[in-house]
């Protein structure tokens, strides 16, 4: 089978949905499974619903706006009496009904039950449209197949159960399903982290022993830098799994960090291509012999720099580091870069859940800390180490680190 993943930008409107069909015409629509994200900025809009719900503001008005947007898209695809309009309404009725009867104060739990509806609706619209134009497919609820723990918003996949479920699919058929979501033992929805639709595609690819997997983006492939942030970037034709994982870890937005691991385990070729120019080759990610060692640039914004020192001027030792990382895990904060000296530890942190202040307060019971928010981590992969001076221009550097292949700096 082939696995195709279409992101929110590719299905943001009726023309985008129609273009998915055009892409499939160029690639063939036999023995494939499509993973689709929520349409356009729907996830952000549904996050606003959750925020308003907890602030006791008018979240129902926001639900109605999102519903109307999806109905408008559907009107550009279907006749007015098509069953899909009733199904769209049902999804939004389910959101409203859940929020009315919910008693849980757990923000992450509520978040997953509400925000996941974006993928459910987009996949239903795409599946119905493809069937309408004779691209026959089966719509799957990913939550029936991908099973996780109860770690809401960052679900950890139960691979044994998931593989058992997915392997039962008939590989001669075509399917449309949702990215980003699974379910726990009580069948409540659990999301796999923001941008988790790529990961979903990799899970299905792994469990189905797919021939290949392709992510369709609005860029030609993996570039040497985000063209919205860097000038004179070029397309990388081939990169290794290892290089792709490094780039994803440092913040390259084209690839989700978890995506590469299951693909690498079974050596499933992975392509990043443009849904605007589907016949172009894009980027292939595969075995290391195919790696292109070209200087690449990654900017990871909205980071937090935390400097930690011991109170008694003692060395930062293993017991100190153990305590710090235990607290990082407790508050679900990820480390993008770390650097230590004898009596201090500098951490560049990704605070996805907004818990950095709580983490800092607890840390201050044992350490002296200094926090700087809204910094950026700039990474150069395959850097020409004798030509680094060009990167310092117009930057206030708070921290820098150089290794054999990588140059990094934290800047204001």
Residue 8 among known ligand-binding residues: yes
Can you give 16-71 as a three-state secondary structure string? HHHHHHHHHHHHCCCCEEEEECCCCCHHHHHHHHHHHHHCCCCHHHHHHHHHHHHH
Q: Which residues partner with 47 through β-bridges?
A: none
Give the relative orientation of helices 59-75 and 42-54 as an angle to the nearest 10 degrees: 160
Let me know: does 79 contact 133? Beta carbons within 8 Å. no
Give the separation between CA 388 and CA 297, rounded to whole angstroms: 13
Residue 24's contacts (CB-CB under 8 Å, 6 or more residues apart) are 4, 32, 130, 135
> Could you tell me what percentage of the chain is helix, strand and coil, using 3-state DSSP and rounding each to the nearest 5?
40, 25, 35
**Residue 85 annotated in ligand binding:** no
Phi-psi region of 96 (alpha: psi -120 to 50; beta: other; left: phi over 0): alpha
Helices 107-115 and 117-132 cross at an angle (nearest 10°) of 10
- 132 marked as binding residue: no
Q: Which residues contact 131 (CB under 8 A, 6 or more apart)?
A: 137
Can you tell me the distance from the alpha carbon of 287 to that of 269, in angstroms, rounded to the nearest whole number? 8
d(CA 142, CA 202): 13
Q: Is 153 known as a binding-site position?
A: no
- Residue with the two structure tokens 């044994």: 160
Is there a binding annotation on residue 155? no
Taking a C-beta distance cutoff of 8 angstroms, is the pair 336, 306 a contact? no
40 appears as a binding residue in the annotation: no
193 is in an annotated binding site: no
Task: Give 184's contacts (C-beta < 8 A, 6+ positions apart).
Answer: 147, 148, 149, 150, 155, 190
Please give the annotated binding residues for ATP, written as ranges.
Answer: 5-8, 228
Please give the annotated binding residues for substrate, written as ranges.
Answer: 43, 119
Please give the annotated binding residues, written as ranges.
Answer: 5-8, 43, 119, 228
């Amino acid at each position: 089978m082939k696995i195709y993943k279409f992101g929110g930008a590719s299905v943001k409107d009726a023309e985008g949905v129609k273009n998915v069909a055009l892409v499939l015409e160029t690639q063939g629509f036999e023995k494939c499974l499509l993973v689709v994200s929520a349409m356009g900025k729907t996830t952000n809009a549904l996050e606003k619903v959750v925020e308003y719900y907890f602030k006791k503001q008018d979240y129902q008005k926001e639900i109605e706006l999102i519903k109307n947007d999806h109905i408008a898209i559907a009107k550009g695809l279907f006749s007015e009496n098509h069953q899909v309009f009733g199904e769209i309404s049902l999804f939004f009725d389910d959101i409203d009904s859940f929020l009315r009867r919910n008693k849980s104060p757990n923000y992450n739990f509520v978040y997953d039950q509400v925000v996941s509806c974006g993928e459910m609706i987009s996949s239903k619209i795409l599946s119905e449209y493809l069937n309408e134009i004779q691209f026959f497919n089966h719509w799957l609820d990913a939550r029936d197949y991908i099973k996780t723990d109860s770690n809401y918003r960052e679900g950890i996949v139960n691979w044994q159960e998931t593989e058992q479920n997915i392997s039962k699919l008939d590989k001669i058929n075509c399917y449309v399903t949702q990215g980003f979501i699974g379910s726990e033992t009580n069948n409540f929805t659990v999301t796999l982290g923001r941008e988790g639709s790529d990961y979903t595609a990799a899970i299905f690819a792994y469990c189905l022993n797919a021939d290949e997997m392709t992510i369709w983006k609005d860029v030609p492939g993996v570039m040497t830098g985000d063209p919205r942030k860097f000038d004179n970037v070029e397309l990388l034709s081939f990169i290794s799994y290892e290089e792709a994982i490094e780039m994803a870890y440092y913040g390259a937005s084209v690839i989700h960090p978890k995506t590469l691991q299951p693909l690498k385990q079974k050596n499933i070729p992975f392509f990043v291509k443009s849904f605007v120019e589907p016949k172009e080759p894009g980027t292939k990610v595969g075995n290391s012999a195919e790696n292109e060692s070209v200087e690449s640039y990654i900017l990871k914004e909205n980071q937090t720099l935390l400097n930690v020192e011991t109170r008694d001027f003692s060395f930062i030792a293993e017991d100190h580091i153990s305590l710090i990382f235990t607290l990082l895990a407790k508050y679900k904060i990820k480390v993008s870069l770390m650097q230590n000296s004898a009596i201090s530890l500098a951490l560049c942190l990704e605070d996805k859940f907004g818990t950095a202040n709580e983490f800092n307060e607890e840390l201050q019971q044992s350490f002296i800390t200094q926090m700087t928010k809204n910094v950026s981590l700039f990474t150069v992969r395959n850097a020409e180490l004798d030509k680094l001076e060009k990167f310092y221009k117009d930057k206030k550097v708070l921290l820098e680190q150089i290794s054999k292949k990588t140059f990094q700096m934290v800047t204001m």
